[in-house]
């Protein structure tokens, strides 16, 4: 099983050397030959600023001052990143709903849980490389993959996003688009509060699998 794209470059961030070796073998088996690995998130930024990277896999818990979530948020708002739309897969031992919320709002494309399954990892890698989401920039300062799983024209709840307020970007336009000079800190990674409901009316419940909207 190999991604359809060739000549891919990956960055792997994990402070567990044994796990790093396993991950490198898996990525090689998928046809990704150029892999840069780092034990800390801080050390990965020079490589991300120096060349085009096709995919990043980062562990949630890392040594150093930065974990996988903060790394993802800073990556999205670093004006010197060569490919600001690079897909990011977060690796974790336990994916709680709270963690999923934080990951979505920090610009993570997908998550994979440990112990790793070669099949599951390949599915995630294939999805972000060959079936990527649109990347958007919103007035609230969020930049990253569209947080909606699909567009539901029948959803009219308080978190419904006005389409014109989200600017769809790609790798080329993202470099020219304005970014927040002061990225939000890790503790600020949470959904924006919904507007207060009108008097004597109940807020409609979300429909389908739409969640964490702007």
The pLDDT value given to residue 89: 97
20 closest CA partner among 43, 3, 46, 38: 38
Q: pTM surpassing 0.95?
A: no
Half-sphere exposure of 153 (CA within 13 A, CB side): 0
Residues 6+ apart with CB under 8 A from 101: 190, 191, 212
> And the tokens for 56?
């990043």
Q: Compare 150 and 36 and report the one with higher pLDDT.
A: 36
The domain spans of the chain are 9-134
- pLDDT by residue (tens digit) across 70-97? 999 999 999 999 999 999 999 998 888 8
- pLDDT by residue (tens digit) across 22-62? 999 999 999 998 999 999 999 999 999 999 999 999 999 99
- CA–CA distances in Å: residue 96 to residues 92, 100, 103, 110, 164: 10, 6, 10, 14, 32
How many Cβ atoms sit within 10 Å of the Cβ of residue 172?
A: 10
CA angle (60, 34, 30) in 5-degree steps: 75
Residues 197-209 have a mean pLDDT of: 48
φ, ψ for residue 21, nearest 5 deg: -65, -40
How many Cβ atoms sit within 10 Å of the Cβ of residue 69?
A: 22
Going across the sheet that includes 167-169, the strands are: 143-145, 135-137, 167-169
Distance between CA atoms of residues 8 and 69, nearest Å: 24
- Which ranges in the chain belong to alpha helices (H)? 17-29, 45-50, 68-76, 97-105, 118-130, 171-176
The pLDDT value given to residue 169: 72
CATH architecture of the domain with range 9-134: 3-Layer(aba) Sandwich (3.40)
State how beta strands 167-169 and 135-137 pair.
Answer: antiparallel
> And the tokens for 166?
């989200």
């Amino acid at each position: 099983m190999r991604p359809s794209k060739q000549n891919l470059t990956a960055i792997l961030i994990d402070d567990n050397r044994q796990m790093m070796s396993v991950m490198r073998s898996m990525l090689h088996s998928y046809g990704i030959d150029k892999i840069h690995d780092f034990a800390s998130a801080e050390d990965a930024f020079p490589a991300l600023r120096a060349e085009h990277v096709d995919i990043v896999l980062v562990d949630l818990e890392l040594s150093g001052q930065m974990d996988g979530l903060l790394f993802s948020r800073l990556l999205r708002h670093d004006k010197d990143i060569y490919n600001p739309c690079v897909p990011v897969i977060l690796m974790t031992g336990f994916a709680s709903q709270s963690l999923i919320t934080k990951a979505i709002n920090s610009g993570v494309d997908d998550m994979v849980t440990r112990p790793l399954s070669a099949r599951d990892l390949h599915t995630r890698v294939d999805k972000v490389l060959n079936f990527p989401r649109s990347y958007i920039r919103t007035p609230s300062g969020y930049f990253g993959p569209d947080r909606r799983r699909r567009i539901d024209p029948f959803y009219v709840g308080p978190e419904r996003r006005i389409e014109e307020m989200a600017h769809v970007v790609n790798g080329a336009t993202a470099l020219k688009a304005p970014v927040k000079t002061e990225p939000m800190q890790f503790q600020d990674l949470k959904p924006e509060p919904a507007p207060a409901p009108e008097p004597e009316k109940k807020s409609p419940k979300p429909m389908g699998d739409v969640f964490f909207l702007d």
